[in-house]
Copies of this chain bind each other. A is one copy, B any other.
Amino acid sequence: MKRSIIALLMSIPFYGAAQVKSPDNLVQYAHPIVGTQKMGHTFPGATVPFGAVQLSPDTDTISYEQDGKYNPDVYKYCAGYQYEDKSIVGFSHTHFSGTGHSDLGDFLIMPTTGALQLNPGTADKPQSGYRSVYSHKTEVAEPAYYSVRLEDHNILAELTATNRVGFHQYTFPKSDQAHIILDLMAGIYNYPDKNVWTFVRVENDSLVTGYRQTNGWARTRTVYFALQFSKPFKQYGSRRYDKKQAYRGFWGRFDQTKNFPDLAGEQLRMYFDFKTTEGEKIKLKFALSPVSTDGALKNLRAEAPGWDFEQVKRQGQQLWQQELSRVAIQAAKREDKDNFYTALYHAFLSPTTYMDVDGQYRGLDQNTHKAEGFTNYTTFSLWDTYRALHPLFNLVQPKRNADMVQSMMAHFEQSAEHMLPVWSHYANENWCMIGYHSVPVIADAIVKGNTPFDANKALDACVTTARQQWYDGLGHYLQLGYVPEDKSGSSVSKTLEYAYDDWCIAQAAQKLGRQDIYQEFSKRASNWQNVYDARIGFMRPKMSDGTFRKEFDVLSTNNQGFIEGNAWNYSLYVPQDPGKLIQLMGGNQKFVPHLDSLFTMHLPDKFFAETEDITRDGIIGNYVHGNEPAHHAAYLYNWTDQPWKTQERVRMIIKRMYHPTPDGLGGNDDCGQMSAWYVFTALGFYPVAPGSDEYALGSPVVQGATLRLENGKTFTIQVKNQSDKNVYVKQATLNGKILTRPFLKHSDIVQGGELVFTMSARPVGKL
């Protein structure tokens, strides 16, 4: 696989002449295929940075629910594609990257030849439907480009995209029976009643418009499209698969199955017939809009006016080159560059653009709004991404991050609950996971001074959100100082995260001189102490009556007061005050071996089995890297007298958890959080507590790096004596001055400068 990617990258014009002047062709190092095997849940298809369209192959579209029962296999298909699969069902236009729940998979297109088959067929009998077997040998997956040979139909499929337009190019054999199928029933995390309504118009012999409305993870989601063919179809038709047949009245007079331009219903598949010559290319431009088919047409015309597939691909890859080159690294090994730029690629996939070229987007209230002065984004997997992804954006994508904050504020304005987003996508709040981690994203931006928006208004939104008594145990938390387990499950996780979010609000308030808010939330921020059971040295679920819950297993994640983490991992979750946590846990002497144990202990199989969203590869000892709650844990040694252990651990984690291969991610990439962890860690520092302006130093993987900041400044990282074995930092200097603490300030970076690490094979550092 990799060879073919590289070969192809090298062969295209962009990487010829242009390469001489540009620093390096970075696109060659980013591999969309990474994470498509096992639990990574990434997609291999074509998209531009933060693009609204993710045009990607789906290898199955199995139903979430079948015969009234949950089908656990559906989980594998969060991104539509599993590397092991032998057949491709088709190419759909929207995909999450790395999520553990899912949705989307809108508008599946499949080109076929031979007798028309309108059902997708099954994985074990691919010839029973329109799907096709394929081989990874013919597969090319690059940023903004994907291609594969559809063997059953003898068609070469190529995909690229602009922000809002998926661009397909299918090279057909000679055939009197060439078809393009548009399956409007297909979808990811599908189930029998997910499709609420579908509406299609065949506007003329080469233009189709419509929309699809679903009730899935997003409760009320509508995506509009405009589909333009490069060649008029000979004829077209459709089939309805609705279980229910509503009143049809006088429509019954018309044969709506053939060449009928006006279709609607719940379950619909369409086909468009062509006659092709050998090697004939049929191209499709498939534009999306959150607002209307008019909007989709506008997007189509603005972004993809022509039919030059290579040009669109070139433009897409130029965009990637531009974004990836915000961080230019030097590395000893190709693998390090592959890992780094693949991680940066995955970090720059979402949040995704959610507005038309004219700024119109659908709000939470389902009204059409206009984004004035910012790009509206959607797909906020905030429980994951507040940790490292948004801090990464504050550093290398500050403009986008500020726009994301503005998108969250728009969400707040539109929210019937008067809440900032929890997990939002496509004009919906899906409430996934716990807390309200818009707050650390906003606080981080405020504290770091990245506020080309009304910071006080943003703070007010945080405060309003944090006072919603009805929300998920928050009323109890305000009353008792913790979430009582008998009132609200996952109570410890909630308490810890509320307390951290409180601290974030306090920091932002302090920065903005809002003392009353600072006082109120600083007080709340220490609530984490209320669930610490000093007798056992772990955070522990507490009941309304103030007693700790009796039944309790520190290794289990099932019903123990935690979510996506056990007490071992979650008890370390006090990013706002590791010093105090270490003190409560008995000081350095007790804490360091305790933290060591996390990485070295043996987790019995029965506990592994219940750990969500990750493979065995995602766990080191009892440290779960495949989930987020302990992502900061390896950096906690920096608050002890043995920061060299952080350096050792993070290099070990990187070695174990990130590979430039399809199975190279040990858990869900979670919209880029896992990748952002890599990017920071590889550069040698990490934002343990977003909302502070401090980074904890670790051990860089790169040999050097240049951060080209949006303010025009440059921050360079030099790593002397770098090697696989030299994982310890002997000395670090900032602008020539020796660092005496293993921390770095955000302001140190954004004002430009140079950080020099000198590495060693032994922990001899004085940091």
Contacts and interface: CB of A to CB of B under 8 A. Distances in A.
A64 B246 CA distance: 10
Contacts of A261: 416-417
Interface in A680-729: none
A110 to B, nearest CB: 24
Given A203-B416, A220-B264, A367-B294, A194 B247 contact: yes
Contacts of A203: 416
Interface string A184-216: 000001011110110101110000010101011
Contacts of A423: 250
B292 A366 contact: yes
A72 to B, nearest CB: 14
A649 to B, nearest CB: 33
A430 interface: yes
A246 B193 contact: yes
A262 interface: yes
A387 to B, nearest CB: 19
Interface string A42-59: 000000000000000000
A583 B508 CA distance: 93
Contact of A368 (B215, B244, B368): B368
A235 to B, nearest CB: 13
A365 interface: yes
A151 interface: no
A365 B293 contact: yes
Give the residue among A251, A293, A416, A430 with the most B Cβ atoms within 10 A. Answer: A416
A470 B260 CA distance: 9
A253 B422 CA distance: 14
B366 A211 contact: yes
Contacts of A64: 247
B365 A189 contact: no
A305 interface: no
A709 B215 CA distance: 53
Interface string A413-442: 000110000110000011111000000000
A249 interface: yes
A153 interface: no
Nearest to A190: B247
A251 B202 CA distance: 37
Contact of A417 (B246, B247, B249, B262): B262
Given A199-B366, A261-B417, A416-B203, A216 B247 contact: yes
A219 interface: yes
A251 B416 contact: no
A86 interface: no
B416 A247 contact: no
A472 interface: yes
A249 B367 contact: no
A101 interface: yes
Interface in A236-281: 244, 246-247, 249-251, 253-254, 259, 261-262, 264
B213 A197 contact: yes
Give the residue among A246, A254, A293 with the most B Cβ atoms within 10 A. Answer: A246
A595 to B, nearest CB: 32
A286 interface: no
A217 interface: yes
A199 B220 contact: yes
Contacts of A368: 292, 294, 368
B199 A197 contact: no
Given A431-B249, A433-B250, A365 B209 contact: yes
Contact of A246 (B191, B201, B213, B430): B191
Given A196-B196, A203-B416, A247-B194, A431 B253 contact: yes
A166 B7 CA distance: 68
A433 B470 CA distance: 54
Nearest to A415: B262
A247 B191 contact: yes
B367 A472 contact: no
Give the residue among A250, A429, A470 with the most B Cβ atoms within 10 A. Answer: A250
Given A368-B292, A416-B262, A246 B199 contact: no
Given A101-B249, A294-B365, A294-B368, 11 more contacts: A193-B246, A194-B246, A194-B247, A201-B416, A219-B251, A220-B264, A250-B431, A253-B472, A254-B431, A262-B429, A368-B368
The 8 closest A-B pairs by CB, nearest first: A250-B431, A262-B416, A261-B416, A201-B416, A294-B367, A193-B244, A215-B246, A292-B367
24 contacts: A65-B247, A101-B249, A189-B247, A193-B244, A196-B197, A197-B213, A199-B366, A201-B416, A203-B416, A211-B366, A215-B247, A215-B264, A220-B264, A250-B423, A250-B431, A250-B433, A254-B431, A254-B472, A261-B416, A293-B365, A293-B367, A294-B365, A294-B367, A294-B368
